[in-house]
Amino acid sequence: MITCHRNAQSLAGPRRGCSLLLLVALGCGASTVVPQAPQVAPARKAAVGKMLKAVETAAHPKGQSQAIELLKQAVAEDPGLWEARYDLGVLLAREGQLGPARLELERARELAPNAEDVVAALGEVLRRSDELGAAADVLSRFVNSYPDATQARRVLVVVLRESRKHDDALAQARELLKRQPGDAAALAELSLTHLEQGQVDVAELLIEEALKAEPPSAVVERAAGLIALERGEDAIAFGHFSKATELDPNDTAAGLNTATVLLQAGVYDRAEKHFRAVLAVQPESVEAKLGLAAALRGQGSRNDQGPYLAAESLLKEILATTPGDWAAAHNLAVLYAESMNRPEQATAEYSRFLSHAPSEHPARPKAQKWVADHASVAANPRAQQ
């Protein structure tokens, strides 16, 4: 399932050393909001060296795979090096490997339970895994313990908004603004919450205030783009998305938003172009690969199977890396069932989807019906006659 990406905030924060994301996006140095440093054993020098080398490597567009390997080595040498586990979790999440990312971040949280950047990153991974309840629980408990944890509170606002708990989202956004008056990201989230309640005029007033903030924010520009889309002003929306990409070239959410809007509108060739542009910046983006596969499927036909085969290849590529990726399994099942007339392969992929997808996923009933119907056919070949 492809959705608009309304939030792709940096999940960096205070650390014992230089944070991977701080180095890549912000530069070292930040003030902590927790009352004391995490109590962990002294780090092993060799492991720290590998972690710092990973930081440097990850700063290069195609260096993430090497950085991940270095961080895995650092963790193996020093299992208690929570910074390395955090950095590894963030990079794995960026690659779309949400299950392994969650394991690393949960271990980092056990080692450093008062590190805000770890909790915020874990909350974001749970959100992306459609485990909104778990994300809200983790983040709520943290901000209750550390009320000045603005980074974690921002992610909590997003989670509550996506959970359709609009009153709670508004309350948390207002609390964030009380603690950081004029915070552009908080205004953007407040705006989006009103937008989802159908209060477009209020959302627009709030985003106008956020757009006045300095320095300009990619998060705010994306929110302004979504409001413009709601107004039917596609050209203005795309302008905001383009500005968001200019402000933060490493953040591909604006490009994904543009591509997703085009995909949902059925403009498959232009959607393909934008998804490919995202992949040029972030080659391992699972979201972009899923979107590109959907755009290619939209361009295929019985007489032109080429786009179908290209979509199949992309989805298999995702599943080869992450066999439990239920979104890729579902998209591949639909491709086989509805476009390529491969019922046996569709059944296998629907079964994989059912094994890994969240229990409340809305596509489960249709997948269960498909598997049940085709299991009956397999058991009784005469049913095909």
Q: Is 328 exposed, middle or buried (0-12, 13-18, 19+ CB in 10 A)?
A: buried
Position 185 pLDDT exceeds 70: yes
**74 part of a folded domain:** no
Q: Closest by alpha carbon to 291, among 322, 241, 326, 255?
A: 255
What is the reported pLDDT for 98? 84
**Range in 75-79, 138-142, 278-282 with the lowest mean pLDDT:** 278-282
CB environment 90-105: b (16+ within 10 A), e (fewer): bbbbbbbbbebbbbbb
Q: Identify the CATH number of the domain in which residue 338 sits.
A: 1.25.40.10
Task: Tell me the pTM.
Answer: 0.63
**322 part of a folded domain:** yes
**117 part of a folded domain:** no
H-helix or E-strand spanning residue 185: helix 184-196
**149 part of a folded domain:** no
How many independent structural domains does the chain possess? 1
**218 part of a folded domain:** no
C-beta separation of 74 from 66 below 8 A: no
Give the total residue count for the chain: 385
DSSP codes of every residue in 313-374: HHHHHHHHH-TT-HHHHHHHHHIIIIIS--HHHHHHHHHHHHHHS-TT-TTHHHHHHHHHHH
What is the reported pLDDT for 23? 33
Position 283 pLDDT exceeds 60: yes
Mean pLDDT value across the chain: 83
3-state secondary structure of 301: strand
**65 part of a folded domain:** no
Instruction: Give the residue numbers spanning the domain of 352.
Output: 300-385
**336 part of a folded domain:** yes
Q: How far apart (Å, rounded) are the C-alpha atoms in residues 271 and 295?
A: 6
What is the reported pLDDT for 281? 66
Q: Residue 304 gets which letter from DSSP?
A: B
Q: How far apart (Å, rounded) are the C-alpha atoms in residues 294 and 297?
A: 5
Q: How far apart (Å, rounded) are the C-alpha atoms in residues 256 and 258?
A: 5
- The one-letter amino acid at 110: E
pLDDT tens digits along 320-353: 989 999 999 999 999 999 999 999 999 999 999 9
Q: Closest by alpha carbon to 348, among 321, 320, 325, 367?
A: 367
pLDDT tens digits along 20-77: 433 333 222 233 444 454 444 555 778 888 898 888 888 886 788 899 999 999 999 9
pLDDT tens digits along 89-119: 999 988 778 889 999 999 999 999 999 999 9
**264 part of a folded domain:** no
